[in-house]
């Protein structure tokens, strides 16, 4: 039963991972400052510290808890905010990571699993589905900070004997994703459709993304914990299936029974046109593959949201 620290464990993906670790019986410590995470997501059978990963207090928590493995999900993950305030983005995403890694290497942490982003480290890829050997051309400070974190993990993996697995997620969707504000398009569309409101699509709606269910993302984290190799490695966690925003909207409107029409708005500057992730390397190294079909995942997400909607 390895002691696991989960940063960002009050957030969307991190909280699902905590639930899975708790179910296995692993002792879990969540470190999260609740800037976007929610107290109600915190699993009551895990320890929880409301702490910022950049602080000496967070490093002290690592020294005290002595995790065998750190799952690092805490992040500044808003692309537009990273453009408006690149210093804050780098502070949280790069300095926060190094703070934990330095403390972890002091107390013998053996493994780090890092939530990277396949949608941003490649930029506009020449080939879709994209493999890990494709050129890395992040187009936002957020993408640069995720990629820099992977490079730091390369240094700690090779130089300090840690096993570091960077999982490059596609667009993750599922319960607890925040439908308000900047969160993923699946949550935003579903929220609007269930309220009987019309969705807005930027550009022609033919831009594609790789939508991967949070259940599959959690299983990739568990596989990385069990089968992550020595040294450092980066692996795509997606479905290899590009889905356009128009198709996604049509599927969600069908399941939610909402307004099938959309409001069209001008394309957003700098938005990627095509993104999908080849997962052959994760299959080979971790024995992982996605299991949730998009239509099943979306249908169950809509049902979940319908059941948990605030009345009125
Ligand atoms: N959701 C996606 O589609 C997606 C795609 C690719 C990568 N990721 C990565 O997965 C991770 C989790 O994303 P999510 O979608 O669950 O987002 P989320 O916002 O729900 O979770 C992030 C968590 O980190 C916490 N946090 C932020 N700054 C912190 C700080 N300085 N100190 C301590 N805690 C802090 C937040 O309170 C939140 O609970 C992030 O690293 C993100 O970059 C997500």
pLDDT tens, 203-232? 999 999 999 999 999 999 999 999 999 999
How far is the centre of ligand 1, averaged over its atoms, from the C-alpha of 260 (Å)?
A: 31
Q: Which superfamily does CATH assign the domain made up of 4-172+211-237 to?
A: NAD(P)-binding Rossmann-like Domain (3.40.50.720)
**Average pLDDT score over the chain:** 95
How many whole angstroms separate alpha carbon 272 and alpha carbon 202? 12
Q: Give residue 1's pLDDT band: very low, low, confident or very high (50, 70, 90).
A: confident
Catalytic residue among 88, 122, 142, 301: 142
Phi, psi of 3 (to 5 degrees): -75, 125
- Residue 182 in this model has a pLDDT that exceeds 80: no
**Ligand 1 atom having least distance to the Cα of 77:** 43
Nearest residue CA, atom 18 of ligand 1? 11
Q: Which superfamily does CATH assign the domain made up of 173-209+241-275+292-307 to?
A: UDP-galactose 4-epimerase, domain 1 (3.90.25.10)
pLDDT given at position 20: 98
Query: Ligand 1: does its nearest atom lie under 6 Å from the Cβ of 33?
Result: yes
- The radius of gyration of the chain from alpha carbons, rounded to an integer in Å, stands at 19
- Residue 179 in this model has a pLDDT that exceeds 80: no
Mark whether 142 is an active-site residue.
Answer: yes
pLDDT given at position 104: 98
By most ligand atoms within 8 Å of CB, the mutation choice from 18, 70, 74 for ligand 1 is 74
- Cβ neighbors of 227 (< 8 A, separation 6 or more) are 285, 286, 287
Nearest residue CA, atom 34 of ligand 1? 32
Query: Ligand 1: does its nearest atom lie under 6 Å from the Cβ of 157?
Result: no
How many whole angstroms separate alpha carbon 218 and alpha carbon 246? 27
3-class DSSP assignment, residue 200: strand
Residues forming a β-bridge with 199:
262
pLDDT given at position 310: 67
Nearest residue CA, atom 12 of ligand 1? 73
Q: Give residue 183's pLDDT band: very low, low, confident or very high (50, 70, 90).
A: low
Phi, psi of 284 (to 5 degrees): -70, -45
3-class DSSP assignment, residue 61: helix
- Residue 282 in this model has a pLDDT that exceeds 80: yes
Q: Give residue 61's pLDDT band: very low, low, confident or very high (50, 70, 90).
A: very high
How many whole angstroms separate alpha carbon 27 and alpha carbon 186? 32
Domain locations along the chain: 4-172+211-237, 173-209+241-275+292-307
Q: Give residue 311's pLDDT band: very low, low, confident or very high (50, 70, 90).
A: low
List helix spans (H) across the chain: 12-24, 56-65, 79-84, 86-90, 96-106, 118-121, 141-159, 185-194, 214-227, 245-256, 280-286, 294-307
Of 183 and 75, the one with more pLDDT:
75
Phi, psi of 201 (to 5 degrees): -115, 130
Mean pLDDT across the stretch 171-199?
Answer: 89
Mean pLDDT across the stretch 43-57?
Answer: 98
How far is the centre of ligand 1, averaged over its atoms, from the C-alpha of 11 (Å)?
A: 6
How many whole angstroms separate alpha carbon 232 and alpha carbon 238? 19
Mean pLDDT across the stretch 73-99?
Answer: 96
Q: Give residue 180's pLDDT band: very low, low, confident or very high (50, 70, 90).
A: low
Cα-Cα end-to-end distance for the chain: 45
Query: Ligand 1: does its nearest atom lie under 6 Å from the Cβ of 77?
Result: yes
By most ligand atoms within 8 Å of CB, the mutation choice from 36, 75, 178 for ligand 1 is 75
**Residue 66 burial by Cβ neighbours in a 10 Å radius (0-12, 13-18, 19+):** middle
Mean pLDDT across the stretch 260-288?
Answer: 94
pLDDT given at position 293: 98
Q: Give residue 45's pLDDT band: very low, low, confident or very high (50, 70, 90).
A: very high
**Which has the closest alpha carbon to 58: 114, 105, 97, 106?**
97
pLDDT given at position 212: 97
pTM score, two decimals?
A: 0.97
Q: Give residue 141's pLDDT band: very low, low, confident or very high (50, 70, 90).
A: very high
Q: State percent of the chain over pLDDT 70.
A: 98
Residues 129-140, buried b or exposed e (16+ Cβ, 10 A)? Answer: bbebebebebbb
> For the segment 16-36, what is each residue's pLDDT rounded down to a tens digit?
999 999 999 999 999 999 999
By most ligand atoms within 8 Å of CB, the mutation choice from 7, 12, 212 for ligand 1 is 12
pLDDT given at position 268: 87
Nearest residue CA, atom 10 of ligand 1? 115
How many whole angstroms separate alpha carbon 29 and alpha carbon 70? 10
> For the segment 236-273, what is each residue's pLDDT rounded down to a tens digit?
999 999 999 999 999 999 999 988 899 999 998 878 89
């Amino acid at each position: 039963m390895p002691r696991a620290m989960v940063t960002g464990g009050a957030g969307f993906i991190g909280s699902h991972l905590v639930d899975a670790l708790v179910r296995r019986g692993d002792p879990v410590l969540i470190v999260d400052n609740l800037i976007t995470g929610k107290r109600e997501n915190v699993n009551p059978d895990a320890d929880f510290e409301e702490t910022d990963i950049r602080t000496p207090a967070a490093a002290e928590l690592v020294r005290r808890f002595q995790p065998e493995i750190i799952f690092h999900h805490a992040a500044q993950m808003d692309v537009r905010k990273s453009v408006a305030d690149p210093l804050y983005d780098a502070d949280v995403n790069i300095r926060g990571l190094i703070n934990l890694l330095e403390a972890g290497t002091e107390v013998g942490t053996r493994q780090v699993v890092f939530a990277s982003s396949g949608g941003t480290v490649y930029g506009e890829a020449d080939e879709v589905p994209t493999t890990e050997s494709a050129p890395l051309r992040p187009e936002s400070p957020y993408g640069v900070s995720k990629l820099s974190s992977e490079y730091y993990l390369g240094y700690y993996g090779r130089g300090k004997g840690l096993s570091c697995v960077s999982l490059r997620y596609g667009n993750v969707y599922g319960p607890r994703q925040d439908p308000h504000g900047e969160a993923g398009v699946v949550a935003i569309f579903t929220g609007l459709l269930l309220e009987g409101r019309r969705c807005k699509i930027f550009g022609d709606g033919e831009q594609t993304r790789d939508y991967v269910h949070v259940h599959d993302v959690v299983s990739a984290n568990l596989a990385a914990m069990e089968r992550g190799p020595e040294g450092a490695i980066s692996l795509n966690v997606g479905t290899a299936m590009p889905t356009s925003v128009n198709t996604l909207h049509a599927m969600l409107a069908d399941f939610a029974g909402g307004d099938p029409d959309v409001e069209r708005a001008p394309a957003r500057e700098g938005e990627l046109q095509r993104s999908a992730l080849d997962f052959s390397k994760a299959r080979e190294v971790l024995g992982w593959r996605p299991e949730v079909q998009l239509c099943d995942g979306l249908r169950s997400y809509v049902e979940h949201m319908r059941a948990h909607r605030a009345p009125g």
